[in-house]
Amino acid sequence: MVARTSTTWPRIARAGAFCVNVLGAHQGDLCRGFAVSGGDKFAGVGHTPSPVSGSPRLTGATAWADCTIHAVHPGGDHLIVVGRVDALGTCDDDGDGAPLLFHRGRFGGFTA
């Protein structure tokens, strides 16, 4: 889902593709950096091109999905972007494989 006021969305819409990055538990600061409006979100952020679209695949992400835009639906003050997955994978570089979880304004993790 993307805010209707997003300045990034028009660029993604023109490209027709995007890469979903599932951040690792160690990437909370990176998540907060991407959540802030404005600025160059990729400044100082390690990434490589995803295999099909070339969209940014973030270094250290737990998993990724390289997608082509399939449909866009209105959803209040957001747009619901549905992607067709063209490639996906997991990363085993910087993290322990645990995903970053966010709920009720805080980061958390799974417990047994």
Residue 48 is predicted with a pLDDT of 96
- Coil, helix or strand for 54? coil
Task: Provide the pLDDT for residue 28.
Answer: 93
Give the model confidence (pLDDT) of 70-103 as tens digits. Answer: 999 999 999 999 999 999 999 865 556 789 999 8
Residue 92: predicted pLDDT = 63
- Which pLDDT does position 93 carry in this prediction? 57
Position 111 confidence tier, pLDDT thresholds 50, 70, 90: confident
Whole-angstrom CA distances from 89 to 17, 79, 85, 105 are 17, 26, 11, 28
Report all structural domains of the chain as residue ranges with CATH numbers, in order of start.
Answer: 2-95 (2.30.110.10)
**Which band of pLDDT confidence, cut at 50, 70 and 90, is reported for residue 13?**
very high
* pLDDT, tens digit, 9 for 90 and up, residues 23-39: 999 899 999 999 888 78
Q: How far apart are CA 77 and CA 99, in angstroms?
A: 27
